[in-house]
Copies of this chain bind each other. A is one copy, B any other.
């Protein structure tokens, strides 16, 4: 369908079309349709709020990202922030700047993907904004969640001697981006890898379970590579850390690869963006409970390092020898 259809709908017609299948949820008193949404926190809980902007040709490309997955991902990257706090996601706002050449089909698919991800996580769309964009598609999502104060996990709680953990596997999204930038299309063979970039699964249930069980001391979601993101935990906790390169959980497809490729896979695991896994720290005596709880949530959790009282975060080989790299990525000096 053509842009004329979007114009003919008008803003209110468009909002009504995009929100037809919005259902109401926990704590929602007035959703879309007034000057502001009205919601109510669960008794004793505090509010968690985060927002992300996704711009066409900066964060996504229409030729790589199908609209349904893009809708899902727009919410997923926000859900990941609530997961990293140990929170329960509740409500979302979606603003769209719509370029003249965008089709109504694209918007319908985008909206279906966004709302499917919302439903999977018990989130209600309670508001937003739509306007026309003279440039590319502009997406801004705000997510709100809640949790009891004592179960909210900050970045600042890591303690020397804690183990450093991550969920899932690391580096797949960066590999997918590398493949797409190299001109590869989506195939049956690379679909699992591509999905990690194009339709990431936010670790909401494991994040919440770990925090509610009182097992973790600090947590962050991995959007810029575990080296940089654990670095934020280290900075805010006033600690350092050792990450063990050989412990990093690589995607299954990359387990049986040669030495040179193995090094690249570990680089991607350390510094690749958009994995949306969780990195957390925990006392060593919680080790077994964490492994078992993550398993119950259907997600692997892998110990990948140790919190130290140094001021630095270093990557070590299997002998404990620091590898030559900085937080921003490997330094290819050697």
| A48→B37 contact, CB < 8 A | yes
Answer whether residue A128 sits at the interface, using C-beta atoms and an 8 A cutoff: yes
Q: Which of the listed residues A80, A129, A131 has the most CB atoms from chain B within 10 Å of its own CB?
A: A129
Answer whether residue A51 sits at the interface, using C-beta atoms and an 8 A cutoff: yes
| A131→B59 contact, CB < 8 A | yes
A49 and B126 in contact, given A95-B140, A97-B55, A142-B142 (Cβ under 8 angstroms): yes
Answer whether residue A285 sits at the interface, using C-beta atoms and an 8 A cutoff: no
Contact of A47 among B39, B133, B140, B156 (CB under 8 A): B39
Question: How far apart are the CA atoms of A50 and B144 in the complex, in Å?
Answer: 12
CB contacts under 8 Å to B, within A23-41, are 29-30, 33-41
Instruction: Kindly supply a per-residue 1/0 record for chain A positions 117-152, scoring 1 wherever the CB is within 8 Å of any chain B CB and 0 otherwise.
Output: 000000000111101111110101011110001001
Answer whether residue A177 sits at the interface, using C-beta atoms and an 8 A cutoff: no
Chain A: how many interface residues by the 8 Å CB criterion?
Answer: 60
| A129→B53 contact, CB < 8 A | yes
Question: How far apart are the CA atoms of A41 and B129 in the complex, in Å?
Answer: 24
| A29→B46 contact, CB < 8 A | yes
Contact of A134 among B39, B58, B80 (CB under 8 A): B58
Answer whether residue A234 sits at the interface, using C-beta atoms and an 8 A cutoff: no
Task: Provide the residues of chain B in CB contact with A114, threshold 8 Å.
Answer: none
- From A83-91, A249-257, A286-294, A295-303, the one touching the partner chain is A83-91
Contact of A155 among B34, B55, B56 (CB under 8 A): B34
| A51→B129 contact, CB < 8 A | yes
Question: How far apart are the CA atoms of A129 and B145 in the complex, in Å?
Answer: 18
| B127→A34 contact, CB < 8 A | no
| B38→A46 contact, CB < 8 A | yes
Task: Provide the residues of chain B in CB contact with A41, threshold 8 Å.
Answer: 41, 47
Question: How far apart are the CA atoms of A33 and B85 in the complex, in Å?
Answer: 12
Task: Provide the residues of chain B in CB contact with A97, threshold 8 Å.
Answer: 53, 55, 58, 138
Task: Provide the residues of chain B in CB contact with A9, threshold 8 Å.
Answer: none
Contacts A34-B155, A53-B138, A142-B142 aside, 13 further interface pairs with beta carbons under 8 A come to: A35-B50, A35-B82, A35-B220, A36-B48, A40-B46, A40-B47, A41-B47, A49-B144, A51-B127, A51-B128, A58-B134, A129-B140, A134-B136
